[in-house]
Amino acid sequence: MLNWSRPDNPFVPGVPLTDTYRQPGVVLTDRRFTVPLDHDDPSGETIELYAREVVARDKADQDLPWLLYLQGGPGFGANRFVGKPAWLGRALEDHRVLLLDQRGTGSSTPANRQTLPLRGGPAEQAGHLTRFRSDSIVRDCEAIRPQVTGGAPWTVLGQSFGGFCTVTYLSTAPEGLDTALITGGLPSLDAHADDVYRAAYPRVERKVAAHYARYPQDVERARRIADHLLTHDVVLPNGYRFTVEAFQSLGRMLGSGEGSHRLHFLLEDAFVPTPAGPALSDAFQEEAQGLLSFAGHPLYALVHEAIYAQDARPTAWSAERVRAEFPQFDAAKALSGDEPVLFTGETIHPWMFDCDPALRPLRETAELLAARTDWTPLYDPARLAANEVPVAAAVYHDDMYVDTAHSLATARAIRGLRTWVTDEFEHDGVRTGGPRVLDRLLALARDEA
């Protein structure tokens, strides 16, 4: 087998391969780190973390402070940028940036249906996955920071779940932080998952109402698709069992800046005529399966509710249980009358582990995680109340994914935190807003605004 890192690689005779390369305006370096799987057992098993270092090409030789980016999720690797889009260009004006693939994601040691059986059965897999929450991620960051910065504290930018991790960072290792910047990711410090979802379903209903107000033709289109799925057994090309609940879950798109428009375009050509009658088109099914599949981010489904678990109370499929308190989300009931079919949001349900081929082998593992009663706290209110790290947070008004009231309560609980509450952006404002969001947060953190 060819070793691509060898200097005698025949594809580039006499030229050693390097982990540093260029894109328009930037210099990139691939970096890999070894960290303990369990930080309480530093001499035990290790895993690998991958991160991409980015620096502006005209500053590549300068000694710049570091900014660590923590991606949203859980379960997503860091953005694969080309050049300096979104917030990155602003960050590169005065920082080197480290785009970290959090443990189990991206190019870091994976955790998915293919690799988890190496741990043993479902019980062993579930135990393994308890180490993939924000507390372990923060300890990873602290383990690699000396290798990156030489020991100096760094600025952390946390988007969504990355913001949750940042609040854990402020709770457990503030000495590692020069500045903390949070976008759409101020979690409740003490809410159980049930509290999170009881607050979420009404927000989702408002987002769906706003979508139908913008695109009233989608009311009938969604009803027609839902009726078809209730009366037909539809399996998507990748083997995903396409149920009406799965269709409704496409509403998670409504939490992003362009999501309503993308959902509209998805619905407008859902059906084609066939000899057997109208059927969901191949194009619609292809796009739907890409939106529904967890193949690229299974940790999102496995540990999503666990990010809200901090005591002996199990999550117990919280989103599914709480949904029953909101009967207006029952598609069959809506179709029996004249009500619109409501989409749902960023929620994980047990049926997903039956429908999705990427999740089916992990159903029992997910059940064990949902029943777990030994979760440990992720935040330290006393330490946050005494915080001395400059912190700024963008709170998106009526954010579909993170409750605004929960975020503002946490903002008041973190000493010195400055908030920017805005309805100009949805949850992905740090991406769609270009440099403006990061620029505003840096100004707030530096007391320049």
> Can you tell me the distance from the alpha carbon of 305 to that of 368, in angstroms, rounded to the nearest whole number?
12
Catalytic residue among 160, 171, 318, 407: 160
Whether 19 is catalytic is: no
Catalytic residue among 63, 233, 338, 374: 374
Whether 297 is catalytic is: no
CA nearest neighbour of 127 among 322, 305, 368: 368
Strand ranges, E, within 301-425: 391-396, 418-422
Give me the helices (H) in 34-178, please: 88-91, 122-129, 134-149, 161-172
> Can you tell me the distance from the alpha carbon of 64 to that of 148, in angstroms, rounded to the nearest whole number?
12
Residue given tokens 């979104």 in the structure block: 86
> What residue type is assigned to position 406 of the chain?
H
Catalytic residue among 211, 297, 304, 427: 427
> What residue type is assigned to position 77 of the chain?
G
Whether 399 is catalytic is: no
CB 305 within 8 A of CB 193: yes
CA nearest neighbour of 39 among 47, 31, 51: 47
Burial of 431 per CB tally in 10 Å (0-12, 13-18, 19+): buried
SS3 236: coil
> Can you tell me the distance from the alpha carbon of 38 to that of 46, in angstroms, rounded to the nearest whole number?
8
Catalytic residues: 160, 374, 427
